[in-house]
Amino acid sequence: MSVYWVIGYFLVLALTLIYKTPVVRGPWLFLLRSFFPNWKFFHAVGYVPHLYARAVQANKDGELTWSNWEHLYPRTSQSLWQLFHNPETNLGLAQQNLIDHFWADLNDSPDGCDPRNFVSYQMVAHFVKGLLNKKYPQHSHYQFELRMLLDNPSDTVHTHVMMTSPIEALHDT
């Protein structure tokens, strides 16, 4: 009897590889997707989206001084307590899920489309603005980039900038 289950399993697996389901789109589904994780864990091996940001400050002479580009998702240290209570890592996973959704929006958009119209862009901009406001309270403007990184186990092999945001005010006026 178990042989039939194994054969059935491989038949279903083969059908899922052959049959492609249509992509469901719509404005209400688009707004609800923040409740669902991005399940493309191993969708494609290769480039992975990463978010970088920087802030600028004007000195007395009016010259702009930019901070270095900062990777906004550094790895957190591990501890035994995190097996039971891990809100920082859970928040980081939700934020990376937002970056993955933003990448998918950019990837699926037609050429010449303004990404600032995407809800995911506005959420990413709000996230970056909040982080940089805390870290650089004296700075006046910020900018962020979505970079596609190709990594191997020891270092980054190649980086491609997918989108650079316009310079925006860091503080509300």
In a domain, 155, yes or no: yes
Residues 35-57 as b or e (16 or more Cβ within 10 Å = b): eeeeeeeeeeeebebbbbbbbbe
pTM, two decimals, is 0.69
Mean pLDDT of the chain: 82
Residue 44 is predicted with a pLDDT of: 53
Q: How far apart are CA 34 and CA 70, in angstroms?
A: 25
Q: How many domains does the chain have?
A: 1
For residue 129, tell me if it sits in a domain. Answer: yes
Res 37 pLDDT > 60: no
| Region class of 46: left (phi > 0), else alpha (psi between -120 and 50), else beta | left
Domain that holds residue 98: 43-169
12/5 Cα distance (integer angstroms) = 10
- Predicted confidence (pLDDT) at residue 39 exceeds the cutoff of 60: no
Residue 114 has pLDDT above 70, yes or no: yes
DSSP string, 33-91: GGGS----TTS-SS-EEEEEEEEEEE-TTS-EEEPPPEES-PPPPP-GGGGT--HHHHH
Average pLDDT over residues 41-50: 71
Higher pLDDT, 88 or 70: 70
Contact of 98 with 119, CB cutoff 8 Å: no
Average pLDDT of 97-110?
A: 91
pLDDT above 90 as % of the chain: 34
Kindly state whether residue 150 falls inside one of the protein's structural domains: yes
The per-residue pLDDT for 91 is 83
**Rounded CA Rg of the chain:** 21
In a domain, 22, yes or no: no
The answer to whether residue 165 sits within a structural domain is: yes
Q: Could you tell me if residue 32 is inside a domain? A: no
**Residue carrying the six token digits 């097996």:** 83
pLDDT band at 28; cut points 50, 70, 90: low
Q: Give the per-residue pLDDT at 2.
A: 81
Residue 37 lies in a domain: no
| 17-37 average pLDDT score | 65
Answer whether residue 42 shows pLDDT above 70. no
In a domain? residue 114: yes
Mean pLDDT, to the nearest integer, of 86-109?
87
């083969």: which residue's tokens?
14
Question: Is residue 75 predicted with pLDDT exceeding 70?
Answer: no
Residue type, 32: L
The pLDDT assigned to 69 comes to 95
pLDDT band at 18 (very low <50, low <70, confident <90, very high): confident
CA–CA dist 50, 72 (Å, integer): 8
Question: Does pLDDT of 130 surpass 60?
Answer: yes
Nearest to 131 by CA among 148, 146, 118, 144: 144
